[in-house]
């Protein structure tokens, strides 16, 4: 994993982050060698099958090759995610180094930062069922779909779900994310530009960041009706504008995937209604007070809102203009919904369709 030690070296030791994350990743669930092989085979086959089903439902991506998914364990997810985080963090690292003059942070400082990131990765490694990293892979196969086998097995057991149904259901969601980025050529570069723009507009003054955070918590509700999080509060006004675009995009992507998995589900997943009901309740509750606290600190409550608000936006838009009309959202960055439009799909329809 690239982690240069020369000028403008990263303030985070990413190798230390991976070591800490792997060490802190929870163990289990218990499976036999035959069960593990079956899970891996199912997920690889279902991810390809799911994408073809998703293409028929969304009318996107017909004729594109179907790439393989990477089925990983929790340590494998930690390593892959750290690699993606390092790429995403590069613009912020460059700005921070320029602002502070910290060209070569000490190894101890870098290791401590890496261990802190590793703690987060270790915690999340037991939660994530799958993800698509649009910046992963290589030139031949941009993007990387990860399916975390032990977490899928753990949740299907907790829900008492039919393993075949649950594994295909998860693949429907994650394969939709892969299709979004492969069928919409400009989306990957647009996402990367948002991340770079967000870093470019960051404020590196801690006092100003704290003052804004306090004001945001005491202030009015945000664009989608919720109380601004601490993550939003520390942002400069310029950065907040970019953040709103990021939130709108993520809400669209997550909501679209949730809508599609439920639209496809009844025809291929017999127990989809039961799975959705149980999974939504599990997602809402969390596991316990420490789990819920970490979710708040890590902004995971915002992630849950993206599923709910984004799915409501997609349903509302599809109800008005159908899936073909909805697909206008993928024409260009200008046809993406704003954060306010996520809460008002009729406003997006009026703006884009007249």
User: What is residue 50's predicted lDDT score, i.e. its pLDDT?
Assistant: 96
User: Which band of pLDDT confidence, cut at 50, 70 and 90, is reported for residue 96?
Assistant: low
pLDDT at 213 over 80: no
**77, 347 contact by CB (below 8 A):** no
The per-residue DSSP string of 158-225 comes to: HHT--HHHHHHHHHHHHHHHHHHHHHSTTHHHHHHHHHHHHHHT----HHHHHHHHHHHHHS---TTS
User: What is residue 100's predicted lDDT score, i.e. its pLDDT?
Assistant: 55
**31, 79 contact by CB (below 8 A):** no
Q: Of 234, 233, 248, 238, nearest to 198 (Cα)?
A: 238
Q: Retrieve residue 142's tokens.
A: 């941009």
User: What is residue 240's predicted lDDT score, i.e. its pLDDT?
Assistant: 81
Residues 90-106, mean pLDDT to the nearest whole number:
61
Residues 6+ apart with CB under 8 A from 179: 51, 54, 55, 58, 60, 61
What is d(CA 227, CA 233) in angstroms, rounded to the nearest whole number? 10
Residues 38-63, mean pLDDT to the nearest whole number:
95
Residues 87-112, mean pLDDT to the nearest whole number:
67
What's the pTM value of the predicted model, to 2 decimals? 0.82
Phi, psi of 126 (to 5 degrees): -95, 0
**211, 222 contact by CB (below 8 A):** no
Cis peptide before 29 (omega within 30 of 0): yes
Residues 59-79, mean pLDDT to the nearest whole number:
94
Residues 6+ apart with CB under 8 A from 227: 217, 221
User: Which band of pLDDT confidence, cut at 50, 70 and 90, is reported for residue 4?
Assistant: very low
Average pLDDT over all residues of the chain: 82
Residues 105-120, mean pLDDT to the nearest whole number:
81
pLDDT in tens, 262-304: 899 888 999 999 998 998 887 666 555 445 545 544 455 555 6
pLDDT at 210 over 80: no
For residue 50, the SS3 value is: helix
What is d(CA 168, CA 147) in angstroms, rounded to the nearest whole number? 11
Positive or negative, the Cα torsion across 188, 3, 6, 90?
positive
User: What is residue 237's predicted lDDT score, i.e. its pLDDT?
Assistant: 76
Phi, psi of 144 (to 5 degrees): -145, 120
The β-bridge partners of 137 are 142
pLDDT at 241 over 90: no
pLDDT at 137 over 80: no
Q: Retrieve residue 17's tokens.
A: 């982050």
User: What is residue 312's predicted lDDT score, i.e. its pLDDT?
Assistant: 93
pLDDT at 238 over 60: yes
User: What is residue 6's predicted lDDT score, i.e. its pLDDT?
Assistant: 41
User: What is residue 88's predicted lDDT score, i.e. its pLDDT?
Assistant: 78
User: Which band of pLDDT confidence, cut at 50, 70 and 90, is reported for residue 20?
Assistant: very high
Domain ranges of the chain: 14-353
pLDDT at 123 over 70: yes
User: Which band of pLDDT confidence, cut at 50, 70 and 90, is reported for residue 99?
Assistant: low
Residues 160-169, mean pLDDT to the nearest whole number:
96
Residues 6+ apart with CB under 8 A from 84: 133, 135, 136
pLDDT at 183 over 70: yes
What is d(CA 61, CA 307) in angstroms, rounded to the nearest whole number? 23
User: What is residue 280's predicted lDDT score, i.e. its pLDDT?
Assistant: 82
Q: For the chain, what is the largest distance between any 2 Cα atoms, rounded to a whole number of angstroms?
A: 59
Phi, psi of 131 (to 5 degrees): -160, 155
Higher pLDDT, 207 or 7: 207
pLDDT in tens, 299-349: 555 556 666 889 999 999 999 999 999 999 999 999 999 999 999 999 999
User: Which band of pLDDT confidence, cut at 50, 70 and 90, is reported for residue 3?
Assistant: very low
What is the chain's Cα-based Rg? 21
CA neighbours within 13 Å on the CB side: how many for 245? 18
Give per-residue burial for 240-267: e unless 16+ CB within 10 Å, then b: bebbbbebbbbbbbbbbbbbbbbbbbee
């Amino acid at each position: 994993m690239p982690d240069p030690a020369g000028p403008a070296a990263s303030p985070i030791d990413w190798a230390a982050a991976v070591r800490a994350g792997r060490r802190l990743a929870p163990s289990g669930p218990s499976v036999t060698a035959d069960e593990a092989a079956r899970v891996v085979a199912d997920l690889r086959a279902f991810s390809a099958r799911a994408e073809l089903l998703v293409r028929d439902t969304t009318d996107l991506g017909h004729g594109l090759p179907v790439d393989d998914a990477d089925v990983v364990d929790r340590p494998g997810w930690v390593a892959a995610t750290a690699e993606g985080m390092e790429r995403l963090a590069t613009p912020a690292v460059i700005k921070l180094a320029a602002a502070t003059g910290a060209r070569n942070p000490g190894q101890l400082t870098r290791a401590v930062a890496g261990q802190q990131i590793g703690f987060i990765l270790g915690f999340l490694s037991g939660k994530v069922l799958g993800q698509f990293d649009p910046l992963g892979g290589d030139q031949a196969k941009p993007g990387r779909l990860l399916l975390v086998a032990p977490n899928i097995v753990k949740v299907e057991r907790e829900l008492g779900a039919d393993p075949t149904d649950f594994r295909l259901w998860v693949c429907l969601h994650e394969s939709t994310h892969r299709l979004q980025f492969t069928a919409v050529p400009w989306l990957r570069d647009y996402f990367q530009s948002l991340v770079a723009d967000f870093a470019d507009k960051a404020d590196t003054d801690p006092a100003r960041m704290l003052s804004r955070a306090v004001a945001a918590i005491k202030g009015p509700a945000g664009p989608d009706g919720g109380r601004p999080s601490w993550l939003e509060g520390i942002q400069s006004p310029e950065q907040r504008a970019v953040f709103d675009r990021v939130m709108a995009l993520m809400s669209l992507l997550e909501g679209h995937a949730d809508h599609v998995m439920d639209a496809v589900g009844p025809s291929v997943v017999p127990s989809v209604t039961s799975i959705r009901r149980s999974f939504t309740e599990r997602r809402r509750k969390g596991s316990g007070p420490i789990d819920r606290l970490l979710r708040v600190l890590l902004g995971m409550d915002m992630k849950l809102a993206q599923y709910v608000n984004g799915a409501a936006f997609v349903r509302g838009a599809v109800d008005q203009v159908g899936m073909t009309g909805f697909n206008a959202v993928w024409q260009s960055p200008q046809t993406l919904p704003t954060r306010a439009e996520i809460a008002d799909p009729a406003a997006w329809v009026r703006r884009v369709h007249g």
